[in-house]
Chain A
Amino acid sequence: MPARDTAVVVGAPGAIAESIAALLAADGHPVASVGFRFAARAGDGRAFDTPRDGEGWRSLIAEIASAQGPPLVLVDVASFPAGYGQPDGAHSYVGEVLARAEASVSAARPLMAQARSGSVVLVGLPMGSEAVVGIPAAGALAGALPGLVRGLAVEMGDDGIRVNLVSPGLIRLARINESQRPGDGFGIVPLRRPGTDERAGSPVDVAAAVAFLASADAGYITGTQLVVDGGLSPCRNSRASAFWEDGATDAFERSAGLAVVATASPQPAPEH
């Protein structure tokens, strides 16, 4: 396996941050986790506490660089807002998320600029890219992150540094897993996993998107938002799509009085 750049993964304890750190380590990146611990099955994994200020970030990045090599991959996984449904919590929550991302990027940027190579990946909340009813702070963050990523991408492009956002859709986390069967609550997601009824994503899906953006295969991608949501956000959630997912398209066409020009039934491929 070719040598990979050292990766710093910043986040709170949780399945998504832990999956990202574990997959990057499995792919051969030396990994430093900040704010959480993860189980590295193999390779070089270390855990650190979250620094309090810019000076703390600079010394942490220097420590990681001397122990594991210059961190040319930086991943910041947004934490959930502490209080749900608080109408006045958005500004402080969004401010905290952006402040941490800016502090870690500022600390890592000089080493990336020196190498003329770097990949910054921000990861939004696993709720889709739409505003979320009852959690205005989450909706505000969903609007803020794409703008921050575009601004940083333009700012740091001359140094060969790429900046992108991963926007997870509905991801099956442990606490949801316990109370729901596959398919429950995720019926509006167009994609069904082959051979199952599962429509939710998994933390590994998010991790794989981050690993891709950190890799040379994404070497010309910057300033973008990679949506990992099984088609949730481009889906219109129309009456037609609901019937389609239930396999009852013919009934929909009849009930809506539509003039159907062709059957919706799939045609088999010719056999040889």
Chain B
Amino acid sequence: MGLLDGRAALVTGGAKGIGAAVVRRLVSDGAQVAVADVDEDAGGALAAELGSSAMFTHLDVSSAPAWSTALTQVDERFGPISILVNNAGIGAMTYVETFPEADYDRVMATNHLGTLLGMRLGVPYLRRAGRGAIVNVSSLAGLEGDVGMTAYVASKFAIRGLTKVAAMEFGRDGIRVNSIHPGLTRSTGLESVPDDFLGRIPLHRQGRPDRAGRPDDIAGVVSFLVSDRASYITGAEIVIDGGKSVRFPTVVGDYVRANSVLANSVEGIN
């Protein structure tokens, strides 16, 4: 018995990383989950492993016709979804002064337009299910700027704004829409970066080798947000970053203090 028994869900970018952790968690909570991804090998393998509670559906989130096809497939198999997790996202190093427009467009098409299309084309199913919750995966980059992340930051701020508008428009139907903002999470491609990659993180948990988050940390929050336990939470932004974004930004002092050899020479830098 789980909090999500009888619910059907679709998770974009569900084949790997944070998305795959969300898929596993929703299945273990009792939901039937569609793994929607462009990666057929990884997505198909995950769905096969999870058995009858999961299915794979090919989905390029930047294409409206692809959304329609995927939603129809999932509806035929599991009935109307009441949970939509817009997780698919890509990044590219694009500086403001030099960004290639093709890279910018590619990032915005997946992260920004993909989230908007998912809400627009998915909401009729949530409405038919009689209830619904949408979680849009933004990022700390939806709250903070960073060098070389023009397209990514713009797309993640856009997701945060879209979430507020959708929360207001869908509220009268009882459909909730929230954004989550993961900080440094050890998912695909970020297994070995230093844990102060985005800045120093205050929280150091027992038994953890470092201060970074894990995909499971994000999945647990999604599980709560789509459940009835969060039934009065909408339009909210949930930051999952070990406190990184509230760290007093004494950047020079922090980085120097982290190096014990230099620590004595910079006393009083604060």
A and B, one complex?
yes
**A interface residue numbers (CB < 8 A to B):** 115-117, 150, 153-154, 157-160, 162, 169, 189-195, 201-202, 205, 208-209, 211-212, 215-224, 226-231, 233-236, 241, 244-245, 247, 266-270, 272
List A contacts of B157 (CB < 8 A): none
Closest A residue to B79 by beta carbon equals A272
How many residue pairs bridge A and B at CB < 8 Å? 167
List B contacts of A224 (CB < 8 A): 238-239, 246
User: Distance (Å) between the CB of B125 and the closest chain A CB?
Assistant: 5
Q: State in angstroms the CA–CA spacing of A209 and B218 once bound together.
A: 16
The one of B172, B224, B235 that contacts A217, using a Cβ cutoff of 8 Å:
B224
The one of B75, B204, B232 that contacts A228, using a Cβ cutoff of 8 Å:
B232
A267-B124, A269-B128 as given contacts; A191 in contact with B239, CB under 8 Å: no
Q: State in angstroms the CA–CA spacing of A267 and B127 once bound together.
A: 10
The one of B124, B172, B245 that contacts A190, using a Cβ cutoff of 8 Å:
B172
B92 CB–A CB distance under 8 Å: no
Contact across chains for B238 and A221 when beta carbons are under 8 A apart: yes
Stretch at the interface among B55-63, B100-108, B162-170: B162-170
A-B interface, 4 closest residue pairs, ranked by CB to CB distance from nearest: A157-B202, A217-B220, A190-B171, A269-B124
Q: What 1/0 flags go to B230-253 for Cβ under 8 Å of A? A: 111111101111110111100000
List A contacts of B72 (CB < 8 A): 270, 272
Q: State in angstroms the CA–CA spacing of A220 and B218 once bound together.
A: 8
List B contacts of A215 (CB < 8 A): 220
Q: State in angstroms the CA–CA spacing of A208 and B225 once bound together.
A: 11
B90 CB–A CB distance under 8 Å: no
Contact across chains for B168 and A157 when beta carbons are under 8 A apart: no
Contact across chains for A220 and B206 when beta carbons are under 8 A apart: no
A157-B203, A160-B206 as given contacts; A218 in contact with B220, CB under 8 Å: yes
Contact across chains for B246 and A194 when beta carbons are under 8 A apart: no
A191-B171, A222-B243 as given contacts; A235 in contact with B124, CB under 8 Å: no
A153-B202, A157-B203, A194-B174 as given contacts; A269 in contact with B246, CB under 8 Å: no
List B contacts of A192 (CB < 8 A): 171-174
User: Distance (Å) between the CB of B211 and the closest chain A CB?
Assistant: 8
